[in-house]
Amino acid sequence: MKITLLQRDIVWGNPDINCKRAEEAILEAPLSDLYVLPEMWSTGFATEPKGIAEKEPSESLQWMHKMANRLNAAITGSIATQTKEGIYCNRLYFVKPQQTEEVFYDKHHLFSYGGENNHYTAGNERVVISWRGVRFLLQICYDLRFPVFARNHEDYDCIIYVASWPTSRIEAWNTLLHARALENQCYVIGVNRIGSDPACSYSGGTILIDAYGKDVVSCPMNQETSATAELDMNKLEGFRKKFPVLKDRD
């Protein structure tokens, strides 16, 4: 499976511009099976969502469907969403071509240090999505710090982390991504934004890591760019059979 990681700067609170710029980046990238955008890619990381979060079904979500159908590929990324019930969720959509029902994960570990928990409703469901022979566990940013929630029960092959992870803690981002790949014997995708918002600055660190903890591909720091690589499922399955770490998990 070919995957493109999109390391983006985000224009604060402007879904229209961010959709247009994301579309340009996707069309410039190699044709892939899956395109991964950062956390709250259409607005920036808004801990106070009133006036910024998009009402469901949002224009940004409709754009994701349009692009998935156009490219015959899946697109994933989180959107600050106000649901039809009026609650706010940090919602990671996984959009497949010709999809009729929404598939999403609501962020479980809300970032209390930044006040995200004061306005958003946490999700409680652990979500694994199958796409073209690969099983993906969906996670968002702060989830990365909580390994128990991401424990591999032999039910997924790759974790996707979309993030707005600030430059001041970038060493933790890099270390924890590699740890999740090693301990869960899986691929790990980490897509982080660059640029700045009213609260923080971001430097990227977007990366794909294999089950050996080795970097497969990455984006240069502080550059708005993309990176594309293949997931080698035969290699992963062979490693798991040869060295069955997951059989001994807690």
Residue 33: DSSP 8-state: S
CB 106 within 8 A of CB 82: no
Closest CA to 37 of 150, 160, 136, 196: 160
**Catalytic residue chosen out of the listed positions 54, 89, 107, 116:** 107
With CA atoms as reference, report the closest residue to 40 among 229, 227, 202, 157: 202
Residue 70, number of CB atoms within 10 A of its CB:
12
Q: Give the residue among 1, 13, 2, 7 at the shortest CA–CA distance from 198.
A: 13
Does the active-site annotation cover 141? yes
**Residue 210 CA: distances (Å) to CA of 64, 65, 182, 235:** 27, 29, 8, 10
- Is residue 8 within 8 Å of 1, Cβ to Cβ? no
CA dihedral 37, 40, 45, 51 (to 10 degrees): 150
Catalytic residue among 19, 89, 141, 186: 141
Q: Which amino acid is at 131?
A: W
Q: Is 39 a catalytic residue?
A: yes
CB hemisphere CA count around 64 (13 angstroms): 28
Verify whether residue 242 is a known catalytic residue: no
**Three-state secondary-structure class, residue 120:** strand
Q: Which of 39, 89, 96, 158 is catalytic?
A: 39
Query: Which residues are catalytically annotated?
Result: 39, 107, 141
